[in-house]
Amino acid sequence: MSGLEPFRERLDRVDEQITQLLGERFEICREVAHYKREHDVPMMQPERVSKVRARYLARGAEVNLPAEFIAELFEVMIAATCKLEDELIDAAAAAQERSRHASRGHGPRGHESRT
């Protein structure tokens, strides 16, 4: 089995790079979510998704990846990043609402504070 070790080591390095790049992509999506929230930009941008999907399929074909694989990978990634953006935008909106509510003298349950 030691004859496979060099291949496994290369795969491990590539897997590490993939993980790092996905982490970077998700971090950028977090920044995008904050921007969208601050500027009232709708979370879903269908034309952007279509453009990115086409680019993924083309790039996948350029490096001889099966079209079905790259399409499924894209769908999983977009679903996960859209979910992340939704959650961050919703959390920011909820926090903003709580802050507005608290600044009007309401306690955490929506009752007047007793001071």
- Better-scored residue on pLDDT, 19 or 105: 19
8 A C-beta contact, residue 113 and residue 105: yes
Predicted structure pTM score = 0.76
- Alpha helix ranges (H) inside the chain: 5-38, 46-62, 67-103
- To the nearest 10°, the Cα dihedral for 96, 98, 104, 110? 160
The domain ranges of the chain are 2-103
Q: Cα 94 from chain centroid?
A: 19
- pLDDT band at residue 114 under the 50/70/90 scheme: very low
CATH T-level assignment (fold) for domain 2-103: Chorismate Mutase Domain, subunit A (1.20.59)
106 bridge partner residues: 112
